[in-house]
Chains A and B, each alone.
Chain A
């Protein structure tokens, strides 16, 4: 579905991402992990055509750089971690923007499919009762759910999530990851997420790519990549021992 080959992003002489390659097939959930400054979010920006890059990004054999933005939006959608909406749009207005790619023309009217997808997205994210609320009055979690609803209304085949649950409490983290897990069950869909939390990566990812200083350290099945052998040198610590130590505190509390 998604084929990234020799992706390189360079600012002047500084290489932020250096020859990164990976693929995602339908029903896979690829976790992109690595420490701060590894180039994870830059990979997402490059795929979403937000930064210039060399190498190739193809979806279903089509070069993303050559796709019309509307066609690209039908194939993949992006959810980022920070949203700063400028004006007091309602939740419904923001979610409805997800249907932009499906209506062409100067004064495009809505159709039944748009309405159905909008209602579905609002319901799935539990935002039906929030639809007339101004986005400026929402909490961080509610705002993130609003943009997730927009992404679901967009109905792409591939979701690209850049630290989707950053700043969110445990309840929202679980809600959002479970929701995406359910979404992934329909045929022909796939997910790529940038995550910091290795527990989430291990729990939900089918595959993983471990990046460090812009380069790929390891890639493959999540179980094979997210191991102390690969993680410890990258994070410069005994990751497994740290996790055990954290967990043992909870065990002691019981």
Chain B
């Protein structure tokens, strides 16, 4: 029998990309004001052409509101999904995710602390919030894993989820405490906490692209190490993986990406849990295929969730996190049941 390709085949990329692009176009077209596809494409084409030629770009609803929002949603979805896939592989645990483990809430503590008591860096709007969220995401991840390991060195599903829940409660109480002492910054903090990508700007899109290019590439480059971890940590050590170094590299990259996502869009739960799991069912567990596929499927999933959030109770707009958590909660129970049944 002929050896099977480990990587993602071009046709696979193409299929995922076509679906993602179709959903992206749909999300730009559909909204409180429906704009025909032809006009939408014309507006985007003109804007891109003018941007290349250095001409002024018209401030139509498509170019100035919907496109940056949809792009930011797609990039946050891709990023959260990539991080979820990486953490699930590293910990060999299909229920591990930044939201179930409490890392997102931990990053939230960092962001809220900076919003309430931090200082603005001239010319670098949100930079402090972002860096603080990144640092707290990393500290949270280390803390949760260390505690879990001390209790149960096998890092079993139940232990991680339990510690994650406890940590989420702890982090939430700190956020409440910060709000109590936030003084005149209360409005800023509360508005940020509601978490939304509705007001996303092209600047946010560029930051997300930059973060994904740097840290996403790092995670993708660790695919073989993640395969080894997913088979077993001892086995990874035996075949020559530098276990400690690989763990730190992956955890730092994941923390940085979660920090960026949280500082831009607030805590959007369950994307990193649901999407990698669904994607694994399509492309299998090999991270050389899984991680690139997660990028496309994560973007598609969050764009669809955002579309639902915008249109389901039109003109009232739901927070995107409500939609993802609604589906995520069902998915969590389903995955937990499947995992237990398999054991």
Binding site for B on A (CB under 8 A): 48-50, 68-74, 77-78, 80, 83-90, 92-94, 96-98, 100-101, 106-108, 110, 115, 118-119, 128-129, 131-132, 136, 147, 150, 154
Contact = CB atoms under 8 A, between A and B. Distances in A.
B210 interface: no
A69 B241 CA distance: 6
Given A80-B234, A83-B232, A90 B239 contact: no
A97 B242 contact: no
A232 B152 CA distance: 38
A101 B240 contact: yes
A101 B1 contact: no
Given A89-B231, A93-B286, A74 B240 contact: yes
Contact of A77 (B94, B228, B231, B238): B238
B234 A70 contact: no
Given A50-B237, A101-B239, A154-B239, 17 more contacts: A48-B238, A69-B240, A72-B240, A73-B239, A80-B238, A83-B232, A84-B232, A85-B230, A86-B93, A87-B285, A89-B231, A89-B286, A97-B227, A97-B231, A100-B228, A108-B224, A132-B4
Contacts of B230: 85-87, 89
B208 to A, nearest CB: 22
19 contacts: A49-B237, A50-B234, A69-B241, A73-B238, A78-B234, A86-B94, A86-B231, A87-B92, A93-B6, A93-B286, A97-B224, A97-B227, A97-B231, A97-B235, A100-B228, A100-B241, A108-B224, A131-B1, A154-B240
B211 interface: no
Q: Which of A119, A128, A150 has the most CB of B within 10 A?
A: A150
Q: Which of B93, B231, B239, B280 has the most CB of A within 10 A?
A: B239
Interface string B1-17: 10110100000000000
A128 B231 contact: no
A86 B240 contact: no
A97 B228 contact: yes
Contacts of A83: 232, 235
B213 interface: no
Contacts of A150: 235, 239
Interface string B232-253: 1011011111110000000000
B246 to A, nearest CB: 9
Interface residues of B, number: 29
B6 A147 contact: no
Contacts of B94: 86-87
A96 B3 CA distance: 11
Contacts of B92: 86-87
A31 to B, nearest CB: 20
A219 B237 CA distance: 29
A254 B7 CA distance: 57
A118 B252 CA distance: 33
Contacts of A50: 234, 237
Interface string B312-343: 00000000000000000000000000000010
B334 to A, nearest CB: 16
Contacts of A136: 342
Interface string B81-93: 0000000010011
A145 to B, nearest CB: 15
Contacts of B241: 69, 100
Contact of A100 (B3, B4, B224, B342): B224
Nearest to B242: A69
A149 to B, nearest CB: 12
A93 B238 CA distance: 16
Contacts of A131: 1, 3-4
A128 B4 contact: no
Contact of B242 (A68, A85, A115, A154): A68
Nearest to B224: A100
Contacts of A90: 4, 284
A118 to B, nearest CB: 7
Given A100-B224, A107-B221, A118-B3, A85 B239 contact: no
Contact of A92 (B3, B231, B232, B285): B3
B240 A89 contact: no
Contacts of A86: 92-94, 230-232, 285
Nearest to A99: B239
A4 to B, nearest CB: 18
Contacts of A89: 227, 230-231, 284-286
A166 B227 CA distance: 26
Nearest to B217: A106
A48 B224 contact: no
Q: Which of A83, A97, A115, A131 has the most CB of B within 10 A?
A: A97
Nearest to A93: B286
A88 B224 contact: no
A154 B231 CA distance: 16
Contacts of B231: 85-86, 89, 94, 97
Contacts of B284: 88-90
A128 B94 CA distance: 29
Contacts of A78: 234, 238
Q: Which of B221, B240, B242, B285 has the most CB of A within 10 A?
A: B240
Nearest to A88: B285
Contact of A85 (B3, B232, B238, B280): B232
